[in-house]
Amino acid sequence: MSRPQTSGASATAQARPRLRGRPTTARCSPYGAPASLLLHGLGVAALLFAFQTNLDMAETNIVPVELIIAEQTNVAAAAPPPAQEETFERPPLEALPPPPVPDIAEPAPVEAKPPEFKVTPQRETPPRKDINALLNQLTTPDRNAPRTAPRATEAVGASNMATASLADALRSQIRNCWSPMTGAPNPNDQVVTFSLRLNRDGSVGGLEVLTYTNNAYGAAAVEAASRAIYSCQPYRLPLDRYSQWQEFRPLRFDPRQMVQ
Amino acid sequence: MKRMFLLFGAMAALFLAAPRPAAAQIAVDVTQGNIQPLPIAIPDFGPIGNDGGVAARIAAVVRADLERSGLFRPLDPKSFVDRVTDINTVPNFANWRVINSQALVAGALTVQPDGRLRVDFRLWDVTASSQMLGRQYSTTPENWRRIAHMVSDAIYERITGEKGYFDTRVVFISESGPALNRVKRLAVMDQDGANPIFLTRGDYMVLTPRFNPTAQMIAYMSYIGGKPRVYLFDLESGKQERLGDFPNMTFSPRFSPDGNRVALTLENGGNSDIYIMDLRNRAMTRLTNDPAIDTAPSFSPDGTQITFESDRGGSQQVYVMNLDGSNQRRISFGNGRNGTPVWSPRGDLIAFTRQAGGRFNIGVMRTDGSQERMISTGAHDEGPTWAPNGRVLMYTREGGGAAAAQIWSIDVFGRNERRVQTPGSASDPAWSPMIQ
């Protein structure tokens, strides 16, 4: 009785390494636990973690700096007006003594504020659209598709495609847009994970940071990855498999191999 | 128990199911990207009052700084389809996205009633439609370039997570005249080549200038009176003084991170060893005692260790020792000869010069000698110096067609190699810390 269970577990692990190998915060050994217990446990743990992470992010990372976004016009900022977050009044910069270097004159140190951090910049709910309109939109050449080539759509489409190829399809599109900032003293600081929800038209429906390092390098890494995610949309993925690709989680950006 | 567990799980699932699609989630690892400079729009800063054209020049300096870093691609202002009319209104991001800009800098310059300049700027994330940074600086008009460099530093820091390095200077040896009778003068300039100033007249040879931590003092070696000795040059007062009175030559000075000590090499009867002089009482402490040539000391940023070069093993190699001279150990084991080690201000790497097979490289390695990599190659590349953020280096390049010495810069990964603008031929650069 125990043998088939064990082999079943390892077969699952081989077939879906990403699903099991890299939950964002929970770490589980791929070895040996009875399959059913492991998967149940994982499922519940992942749900709980997701729940917890959401709470954390909401509390700590949304900094109300933004002047409200006005897409249409140059409306005066509705929020705290000239938000000069930081004002450095320098002491008089009267020239220092004599030449030879008059221009070493001396501004006071500039206080640096840790970067504010905004994640989930666009968390609107997906626009409600008539399904026919959506289908039309997806079958006509994409109006505002930027540079992304439609290779994913061409390459896939068979209904028996494994989730791994959906992951590959997304990865092959995002990597072209991703220009990570490399070179942190601790390269682990630049690894970030997201949950990315996509609308049926391949646009970003929601983006949430799951894990990142809370320092300037981590903040820069989150922003570089967010820029990639937003600037690469819409993603070209097979519509008949939308139920599978409506959420990518964890979507992990790891530039460590690129550094060396 | 099991029932409770299931119930709890079911509740969690129900709670989460509402805002989230109840579908499988696919995990994706992205480990390769496409490193490109970030497209950034930096329109000329809006002048308010009569600024004499400074507002436009500030924006131009910021564009040039960021472009030279290799990490940004300032877009041509001619491509802009929109303008920043008021930095206190939210930009129309769509108009900046359309030119593929990912960031926007909106700045304004105000000439205040007392004549001082005030610069306000905001950095916008065009992709996410949000503000990343807003700052204000003010200064006297002649310091406008420094304000521009500070704006560049703020943008660089906010977007890369690294400290900036634009508000810095470089001291170097300016060379002129024929090869056999080369005039070498001590000179200092901004890191972008602006404001070059000669500090000595060229009556005597000068070599190896180095900044102290406040960037106000330079230690260097000079042949005043025919004897090579280490001198200090005070940039504020213009005063020079000889460091110690020794019968033999002293050379290769370098300040400690706290600025209170100078490590240098003292030659005695053909044997060179490394000493530390305490600048407060001029006491000398000997660190190496070896018949070989030990020279080119450089402190670790925490001040506890010194890296240096020595030929005690038969060829010139890089060594590390504690501040009291104990635990001297070789760390370079690569090909050829390795010298002129310089500890990164970040503490993680040591840069050095390699000479092997008739070629020179600038290389970097971890402080234990591991993970060595060559970042530049030339007929004669030598003498690296670090930007204060530990990400960019300058060095001297000679030969290879361009016989006269030039200063070049490169980043720590070997990318973005460029010539640094200098007034004429130049060598032996030393990068200042961030100016206080």
Q: What number is the ipTM of this complex? A: 0.82
Q: Is residue A118 part of a domain?
A: no
List of chain A residues whose C-beta atoms are within 8 Å of the C-beta of residue B71: 181
List of chain A residues whose C-beta atoms are within 8 Å of the C-beta of residue B158: 115, 220
Q: What's the Cα-to-Cα distance from A185 to each of A214, B36, B167, B172, rounded to whole Å? A: 14, 21, 22, 28
φ, ψ dihedrals at B262, nearest 5°: -125, 125
Q: Measure CB to CB from residue A22 to each of B29, B150, B371 and give the nearest one.
A: B29
Q: Is residue A91 part of a domain?
A: no
A177 contacts B34? CB cut-off 8 A: yes
A227 contacts B25? CB cut-off 8 A: no
List of chain A residues whose C-beta atoms are within 8 Å of the C-beta of residue B162: 181, 183, 216-217, 220
Q: Is A117 on the interface with B (CB under 8 A)?
A: no
Q: Which two tokens stand for residue B19?
A: 């805002």
What range does the domain containing A179 cover? 131-259
Test mutation, A18, A47, A63, A72, chain B, max B CBs within 10 A: A47
Do A54 and A159 share a structural domain?
no
Nearest chain A Cα to B91, which residue? A74
Give the single-character DSSP code of B250. E
Distance from CA of B31 to the nearest CA of A (A): 5
Q: Measure CB to CB from residue B130 to each of A118, A174, A244 and give the nearest one.
A: A118
Q: Measure CB to CB from residue A227 to each of B31, B102, B135 and give the nearest one.
A: B102
CA distance A200 to A239: 7
Do A249 and A144 share a structural domain?
yes
φ, ψ dihedrals at A161, nearest 5°: -65, 135
Q: Is residue A169 part of a domain?
A: yes
Q: Which two tokens stand for residue B425?
A: 């031929």
Q: Measure CB to CB from residue B12 to each of A51, A217, A244 and give the nearest one.
A: A51
φ, ψ dihedrals at B328, nearest 5°: -75, 125
CA distance A208 to A229: 11
How many alpha carbons lie under 13 Å from residue A12 in its C-beta half-sphere? 18
Backbone Cα Rg of chain B: 26
At B53 the pLDDT is 85
Q: Is residue A26 part of a domain?
A: yes
Geometric angle at alpha carbon B74, from B69 and B80, rounded to 5°: 175
List of chain B residues whose C-beta atoms are within 8 Å of the C-beta of residue A223: 125, 128, 132, 159
A92 contacts B20? CB cut-off 8 A: no
Distance from CA of B388 to the nearest CA of A (A): 14
Q: Which two tokens stand for residue B205?
A: 């040879």
Q: Measure CB to CB from residue A255 to each of B33, B132, B412 and give the nearest one.
A: B33
Question: Residues in chain B with pLDDT < 50?
Answer: 14-22
CA distance A173 to B182: 57
pLDDT in tens, B249-291: 899 999 999 999 999 999 988 899 999 999 999 999 999 999 9
Do A148 and A48 share a structural domain?
no
Secondary structure of residue B427 in the 3-state scheme = strand
Q: Find out whether B386 and B351 touch, Cβ atoms under 8 Å.
A: yes
At A152 the pLDDT is 37
Secondary structure of residue A227 in the 3-state scheme = helix
List of chain A residues whose C-beta atoms are within 8 Å of the C-beta of residue B13: 47
Q: Measure CB to CB from residue B26 to each of A118, A166, A215 and give the nearest one.
A: A166
How many alpha carbons lie under 13 Å from residue A39 in its C-beta half-sphere? 12
Test mutation, B25, B93, B185, chain A, max A CBs within 10 A: B25
A178 contacts B33? CB cut-off 8 A: yes
Q: Find out whether B263 and B254 touch, Cβ atoms under 8 Å.
A: yes
Test mutation, B8, B15, B29, B101, chain A, max A CBs within 10 A: B29
Instruction: From A29, A45, A60, give the residue that closes a domain.
Output: A60
Do A164 and A47 share a structural domain?
no
B12 contacts A71? CB cut-off 8 A: no
Do A146 and A234 share a structural domain?
yes
Do A153 and A234 share a structural domain?
yes
Rounded average pLDDT per 10-residue block, chain A, 260 residues: 38 36 45 67 61 37 30 34 39 31 32 36 34 35 38 39 84 94 86 95 94 93 94 92 92 85
Give the single-character DSSP code of B77. G
Q: Measure CB to CB from residue A175 to each of B34, B91, B158 and give the nearest one.
A: B34
List of chain A residues whose C-beta atoms are within 8 Å of the C-beta of residue B90: 67-70, 74-75, 77
Q: Is residue A73 part of a domain?
A: no
A179 contacts B38? CB cut-off 8 A: yes
At B48 the pLDDT is 67
Q: Is residue A72 part of a domain?
A: no
Do A50 and A138 share a structural domain?
no
Nearest chain A Cα to B159, which residue? A220
Counting the structural domains of chain A, the total is 2
- Please give the distance of CA B92 from its chain centroid, rounded to a whole number: 36
Secondary structure of residue B364 in the 3-state scheme = strand
Test mutation, A27, A65, A103, A259, chain B, max B CBs within 10 A: A103
Domains delineated in chain B: 38-160 (3.40.50.10070), 169-431 (2.120.10.30)
Instruction: From A60, A82, A103, give the residue that closes a domain.
Output: A60
Torsion angle of C-alpha atoms A28, A32, A36, A37, degrees rounded to 10: -60
List of chain B residues whose C-beta atoms are within 8 Å of the C-beta of residue A39: none
Q: Is residue A206 part of a domain?
A: yes
End-to-end CA distance of chain A: give it in Å, rounded. Answer: 48
Please spell the DSSP secondary structure of chain A, one letter per residue: -HHHHHHHHHHHHHH-HHHHH--SS-----SSS-HHHHHHHHHHHHHHHHHHHHHHHHHHT--TTPPPP-SSS-PBPSSSTT---EE-PPPP-PPPSSTT-GGG--PPPPP-PPPP-------PPPPP--HHHHHHHHHSPPSS--S--THHHHH---TT--HHHHHHHHHHHHHHH-------SSGGGG-EEEEEEE-TTS-EEEEEEEE--SSHHHHHHHHHHHHHHHHHPSP---GGGHHHHSEEEEEEE-THHHH-
Interface of A with B in 29-68 (CB under 8 A): 40, 43-44, 47-48, 50-51, 65-68
Distance from CA of A3 to the nearest CA of B (A): 25
Nearest chain A Cα to B22, which residue? A243
Q: Find out whether B128 and A230 touch, Cβ atoms under 8 Å.
A: yes
At B41 the pLDDT is 98
Q: What is the CATH number of the domain that holds A226?
A: 3.30.1150
Q: Measure CB to CB from residue A121 to each of B85, B130, B159 and give the nearest one.
A: B130
List of chain B residues whose C-beta atoms are within 8 Å of the C-beta of residue A97: 236-237
CA distance B50 to A156: 62
N residues, chain B: 436
**Sheet containing B26-30: which strands, arranged edge to edge?**
A204-211, A192-198, A247-253, B26-30
Test mutation, B4, B6, B15, B30, chain A, max A CBs within 10 A: B30
Phi-psi region of B347 (alpha: psi -120 to 50; beta: other; left: phi over 0): left
Q: Is residue A94 part of a domain?
A: no
Q: Measure CB to CB from residue A89 to each of B32, B138, B412 and give the nearest one.
A: B138
Backbone Cα Rg of chain A: 24
